[in-house]
Amino acid sequence: MGEFIDFLIVIIVIYYILKALFRIFVPVLFENAVNKAQQQQQRQQQYRANDNQQQQYRTTNNQQQQYTRANPGQGKIKVDFVPPKTKKKGSIADSAGDFIDYEEVK
């Protein structure tokens, strides 16, 4: 019976020692983890800020290029695409007059 009590005392002492060690080391580990997360977040924000600056530059540059393409000069017209002319089956000729489709109501 004496050995059992000694075993319980040793287990309780080990429990309290581990509990004290966890109270000391766990906050330090969490602090390190939080610091790493903050650093990673700061790197991502810097990357996004740089990317946004580059995107704004590209957008401004594209707008300038589109403006110069859209306005090549005063009085000049440039046609990029002309759709091909095709006749639709069952279409009414332009010379036939104006027709309005209607349903008779009784």
Average pLDDT over the chain, rounded to an integer: 79
Whether 66 is in a domain gets the answer: no
Establish if 73 belongs to a structural domain: no
In-domain check, residue 19:
yes
Q: pLDDT tens digits, residue range 82-91? A: 888 776 665 6
21 in a structural domain: yes
Considering only CA atoms, give the Rg of the chain. 40
In a domain, 30, yes or no: yes
Specify if 50 maps to a domain: yes
Q: Which pTM does this prediction carry?
A: 0.36
Q: Is the pLDDT reported for residue 65 higher than 70?
A: no
Domain-embedded: residue 53:
yes
Residue 22's contacts (CB-CB under 8 Å, 6 or more residues apart) are none
* pLDDT per position as a tens digit, 18-29: 999 999 999 889
Q: Tally the domains of the chain.
A: 1
Range of the domain at 52: 14-61
